[in-house]
Structure 1
Amino acid sequence: MDAPAPYLTVDERAEVGRAARRRAPRSTAGHWRPAAGRPDPLAVLRAQAESRLPDLVPIRNGRMAASPFAFLRGAAAVMAGDLATAPDSGLTVQLCGDAHLVNFGLFASPERALLFDLNDFDETLPGPFEWDVQRLAASLAVAARENGESPEDAHRVVLEAVRGYREHIRELAGLGELPVWYRRIDADDLLANSKGRPRKQAEASITAARRRDSLQAAGKLTETTANGRRRFKDQPPLIEHVGFDTDEVHGMLADYRATLPEERGRLLDRYRYVDTARKVVGVGSVGTRCFVVLLQGRDADDPLVLQVKEARASVLEPYAKPSQYAHHGQRVVAGQRLTQAAGDIFLGWMTGPGGRHFYWRQLRDMKGSAEVGRMTTRGLRAYAALCGAALARAHARSGDRIAIAAYLGRSDTFDRAIAAFAHHYAKLNTADHARLAAAIASGEVQAEDA
């Protein structure tokens, strides 16, 4: 166990933040350009694909080719290498590692409150706080352009996100430790500053999220056989049975249960195993080994659907310190528990066939995300500010919020620099997407629509 950090006063912590400006001036990000000899993005994606399921890799390519934003979602490894080429502040937090705007959304707390927060931690790792801010900013710049926003409006959208981050970090820097830890953003905050169409869209998202639970998932993904047994419906290649035997799954369930707090393990014990299938999810995760597990509680009307996702080394590891966890499933779970205001009660991990690492969570627990493509300019700006605030809250739990607030300061210097970075990166991402589209058209890269 690492030795505890020396105790610093508020003034001393603030001085750490101001000193970080010498290491990486706040305007640094605004001068970012691709490094000379930048790796071919397709080579980066091919290297990732080598250890993925080969029959699913063309689906990943097809999904990434759908649009520049879809490419950005799948290209976390590409962007990680780009971010590492510039000086950083050295102010470390538990990074989400893939903080694009679709990785924010709604989910239920254990108390059944609907919260807004980060919701994907496959790439989580400690690192400089600005990497998450830059990933969010770039995603907003790309999404705004796809929505038909002018360059000026896209610039304002990014500024709203970074301002939301900076102002929220400054607010949290003035609070004590417990108030920061208990801080959360609930569904009402989505509605607080919304009017007209943006409010109606937020209300629709909240209503839809409340309906998305294991009962809804079971109704959509399963069928009842002639002998009355419920099982997942095969819809290859997106969902299909792949030959797990019952004893093997029971062994994995037992290993997973051992990572849960005892009271939650006792809750899991009340369910019996029913079925398992492979399921394709997301954009960047396509090709990794992901499964769904159907459990039954009191009766057939009391299902629990768990998702089991393969956990690999974070895309940030080549550029940051290696994870303190030898097990990447544990890395994901620990990062999520540290960062989220409230976590899934069934979050755990285990080692699967072939020594591969996995983590478990509920497939749907009132989960929902915004339909960014339908947002108005005003709605997108409000959503950007909310994402910035949520990211600041997450970083404040693990990093030195006082030092980060002092580094950022009261002016908009950092905001404008990140907005300039987002503009440059959006252009680079568009070129990378075009490179993939051309490679698919020429037959260099195989792609499928699914």
Structure 2
Amino acid sequence: MNGWTRTPAAHCRKVPPYWICGDCHVGNLGPVANAEGDVEIQIRDFDQTVIGNPAHDLIRLGLSLAMAVRSSDLPGVTTALMIEQMMVGYRKAFHPVAEPNRNESRPGVVLVALKEASRRTWRHLAQERIQGKTVRIPLGRRFWPVTSQERSDIEALLLQPGLLSLATQLRRRATDAPVELLDVAYWKKGCSSLGKLRYAALLDVGGRATRGQDLCLLDIKEAVKAAAPRYEDAVMPREYAQRVVEGARQLSPHLGERMVSARLGSSSVFVRELLPEDLKLEFAHITPEESRRAARYLARIVGRAHARQLDDSERLAWKRELKRHRSRQLEAPSWLWNSVVDLVGTHEKGYLDHCRRFALESARRIREVKAQPA
């Protein structure tokens, strides 16, 4: 997040204040299910959500797509054409009606994710998250034991308003079904969770756990101050978790309706049930045509998330602003292209510096080992 060297806010007029993702890279988009079982491609991560300049979401998306192009060994011109298609898709979302067109062409990476999401069941989720069909969370490298105090705190958490309804809101569950905490564990899940609270809680809803059916797996995550650029005069919830939930509800209704903010001891946390259909998009090796289609489609998804918060006049004003900085040579705002190029360079420099430090440290350790007496 500290890579926002030349903020686009300096190059384009201030647009109406509304929620942005704040960390809008490809991995934070994908199939998301709502409580009724409907699945759509939406934004799926809101730790960094703030009320800020939507240009930041475009830059972050453009950077992640540019890095995907580089990892696929495609020529640099592909990146330029992809950025152009990003803006084509994004601007289309600001037509008077910004809801999805079911018949629009989806790129292959999206079709694969949607197909996989539609066939997934609780068994698939259990195999990925808790490693098998079980009514306990297996402790090991990913899941660590909790103290008796932590378990008591989480039991108290589940009694807070809205938490029980979170477990019973799915269409297939009775709203008055009994809910029991079966197991809880600390969840070591990637670098982003280090130093913060992260728990997995396994619930039995309606007494069906002994049959291995309809278990409820809650993700309990500590919310912290966002690093994403925000409007200084924006009015947002002071509680970090409330900010995350409100941003999710505005930008990704499917996910937002399945999230609740709460307090866990002195910490602000947000809670959501993990569903089998929730997946992130995986970009491996892509072709030039696929990269352009993916950029156009995903930017339109982000555009819808932005546009649904605006009225028609505000949408029109933002479309005009995007056109104002478009050059004759590149069908995209100059601030978007320049920002993506700068950040790609910063990323490459940081990566190579890291490799050099690693190599020097490895050489130093080898010398120390050789210098030790036999």
TM over 0.5: yes
**Which of 30, 51, 55 is the aligned partner of 1:126?**
51
Match of 2:283 in 1: 372
Match of 1:73 in 2: none
- 8 Å CA contact 2:30–2:113 kept in 1: the answer is no
What amino acid sits opposite 1:337 in the alignment? R
Match of 2:352 in 1: 434
What amino acid sits opposite 1:239 in the alignment? F
Aligned residue-pair number = 346
Give runs of aligned pairs for residues 34-433 of structure 1, distance below 5 A.
77-80=1-4, 83=7, 86-91=10-15, 92-169=17-94, 171=95, 175=96, 179-180=97-98, 183-184=99-100, 189=104, 192-194=105-107, 198=108, 201-222=109-130, 230-236=135-141, 238-245=142-149, 246-255=151-160, 257=162, 264=169, 267=175, 270-282=178-190, 284-298=192-206, 299-300=208-209, 301-316=213-228, 320-321=232-233, 324-353=236-265, 355-399=266-310, 400-409=314-323, 412-413=326-327, 415-417=332-334, 418-433=336-351
Shift of 1:343: 3.0
Task: Go from structure 1 to structure 2 and tell me whether the alpha carbon gap of 1:436 and 1:223 turns closer, same or farther (over 3 Å shift).
Answer: closer
Unaligned ranges ≥5, structure 1: 1-76, 445-450
- 8 Å CA contact 1:80–1:316 kept in 2: the answer is no
What amino acid sits opposite 1:433 in the alignment? Y
SS at match of 1:334: helix
Mapped partners of 1:157, 1:358: distance in 2: 37
Percent identity over paired residues: 20
- 8 Å CA contact 1:99–1:132 kept in 2: the answer is yes
SS at match of 1:366: coil
Q: Cα RMSD (Å) of the superposition? A: 3.1
Mapped partners of 1:217, 1:261: distance in 2: 18
- 8 Å CA contact 1:159–1:415 kept in 2: the answer is yes
SS at match of 1:367: coil
Unaligned ranges ≥5, structure 2: 363-374
Shift of 1:142: 1.6
- 8 Å CA contact 1:214–1:363 kept in 2: the answer is no
Mapped partners of 2:132, 2:66: distance in 1: 45
- 8 Å CA contact 2:88–2:296 kept in 1: the answer is yes
Larger relative helix fraction: 1
SS at match of 1:398: coil
Shift of 1:377: 2.0
Shift of 1:391: 1.1
Task: Go from structure 1 to structure 2 and tell me whether the alpha carbon gap of 1:130 and 1:424 turns closer, same or farther (over 3 Å shift).
Answer: same
SS at match of 1:372: coil
Mapped partners of 2:201, 2:4: distance in 1: 32
Shift of 1:166: 2.1
SS at match of 1:304: strand
CA deviations over 1:138-174 (Å, ceiling 9, x no partner): 11112211111111112211221122112322x2xxx
- 8 Å CA contact 1:297–1:304 kept in 2: the answer is yes
Task: Go from structure 1 to structure 2 and tell me whether the alpha carbon gap of 1:346 and 1:370 turns closer, same or farther (over 3 Å shift).
Answer: closer
TM-score normalized with structure 2 length: 0.81
Mapped partners of 2:356, 2:51: distance in 1: 36
